Amino acid sequence: MAKNFDVVVIGGGPGGYIAAIRAAQLGFNVACIDEWKNKDGKPAPGGTCTNVGCIPSKALLQSSEHFEHAGKHFADHGINVKGLDLDLAKMLARKDQVVKQNNDGILFLFKKNKVSFFHGRGAFAKSSGDGYEIKVSGASEETITGKHVIVATGSNARALPGAAFDEERILSNDGALRIEGVPKKLGLIGSGVIGLEMGSVWRRLGSEVTVLEALPTFLGAVDEQIAKEAKKAFDKQGLKIELGVKVAEVKSNKQGVAVSYTSATGESKILEVDRLIVSIGRVPNTIGLEPDAVGLKLDERGAVLVDDQCRTNLPNVWAIGDVVRGPMLAHKAEEEGVAVAERIAGQHGHVNFNTIPWVIYTSPEIAWVGQTEQQLKAAGVQYKAGTFPFMANGRARALGDTTGMVKFLADAKTDEILGVHIVGPMASELISEAVVAMEFRASSEDIARICHAHPSLSEATKEAALAVDKRTLNF
């Protein structure tokens, strides 16, 4: 006898597990199926984000930053470190422990919210009555039915044609997070978020890192002024970034990897490295989902086709997160998960795509929300800009990290905030004030009139808002 559920969620990443919890909170009988296993074969819900994405990358970014501070910056504070030594095995084990805490936390949350968890792969079998039969293949095989199905099967790393991931020499994000010895020379293809974060980790730990990027501009999606400031900082740190390259061939053997490419000036070059991380984007994942069994439509990129409410072409089948259109971000997946659960309950769940924050957790951090200056120019929007450098912020000076700035873009007539861009210390935390402001459709003057604690980095946000009206107080 099939077990019947109101809602079956396929995929237990940030989109899926949050959707399952919200649906359970709303009184539905919910199942969540996830196939991720840890190295002991045990369930490891949390998806890419928890296992090989957001969480382990931030754990290693933190550890490697401590290492760099101890080696290069503690002396500025009068702290002399002698005999500094890297225990990479311990650093990686700590990262694994952080991941496990998150996996266990999700299993606990499923219990707390009475979500039935199935460890295995979920595949559409057929439509049945007023719902769908889903076959679960794992340690045991069973079939469950759901009146509603939420597909949250995520994404996989895109490989370079002719250079499949072996996770030994040619690494995806997975292998990049568990290299067992610091490579002397590390190559990276792709200077997007993941590439820059992984490059930063291994550079801090001692690798000589070269990043090859096909696009002619650095961080094209980021506000140009902010991207330039970030590039200056990365150059200073010794992260070599070559733009406008065309990779011709990647050859690897036990000794290392050779990347043949043409530089922006048309020169033929070869980059020889011990390991190569390829981070050229991610592809939506529907492997093993059997969408054809029920006629679920995919688009030309292989993403599940959805409308702006995450409805697929099938009644009561929804899809969220990396497997659908839109930014591949954990918090976007979560927001869609909550919104879909609420729509199933007849509520008006919504996701505001204009206020989704973006963060790159390098040093300096880069974070933004809303439109960039180049987007506003292209759209012919009249705007005012205000910037404030961390160099003029007391807390940043005390921290010893004065790189970067906060930048506000506001409508020229109404003063409504259209975009906020930050490069500098704790940009990932500072951006949330801008997100709140934009959600409430605040003006730059609203932020400028709010009392901010002193001394704090957030004063740079207030000052950048004042700068829109050309009346900074500390610069």
Ligand X SMILES: Cc1cc2nc3c(=O)[nH]c(=O)nc-3n(C[C@H](O)[C@H](O)[C@H](O)COP(=O)(O)OP(=O)(O)OC[C@H]3O[C@@H](n4cnc5c(N)ncnc54)[C@H](O)[C@@H]3O)c2cc1C
* Contacting residues toward ligand X, per CB under 6 A: 10-16, 33-36, 47-49, 53-54, 57, 121-122, 152-155, 173, 194, 285, 288-289, 321-323, 328-331, 333, 361
Cβ proximity of 103 and 45 under 8 Å: yes
Q: State the DSSP string of 401-434.
A: ----EEEEEEETTT-BEEEEEEEETTHHHHHHHH
Whether cis (ω within 30° of 0) applies to the bond prior to 284 is no
In the complex, least distance from residue 200 CB atom to ligand X, rounded to whole angstroms: 12
What is the smallest separation between the CB atom of 128 and ligand X, expressed in angstroms? 18
Which CB, 285 or 371, lies closer to ligand X? Answer: 285
Judged by beta carbon, residue 259 or residue 304, the one nearer ligand X is 304
Q: How far is CA 99 from CA 52, 93, 153, 181, in A?
A: 9, 10, 19, 20
Supply the minimum distance, in Å, between the C-beta of residue 159 and ligand X: 14
Q: Give the SS3 label for residue 358.
A: strand
Structural Rg of the chain based on CA atoms: 24
Minimum gap (Å) between residue 56 Cβ and ligand X: 8
454 catalytic per annotation: yes
Tokens of 373: 């200056």
| CA proximity to 53, closest of 197, 231, 170 | 197
Task: Tell me whether residue 321 or residue 386 sits nearer to ligand X (CB atom).
Answer: 321
Rounded to 5 degrees, what are φ and ψ at 116?
Answer: -80, 120
Name which of 329 and 369 has its Cβ closer to ligand X: 329
- Least distance CB 457 / ligand X (angstroms): 20
| Whether 223 contacts 421, CB under 8 Å | yes
The residue among 277 and 385 lying less far from ligand X, judged by its C-beta, is: 277
- The length of the chain is 475
Can you state the angle between helices 427-439 and 458-468, rounded to 10 degrees? 50
Candidate list 66, 73, 350, 454, residue with the active-site label: 454
Catalytically active residues are 454
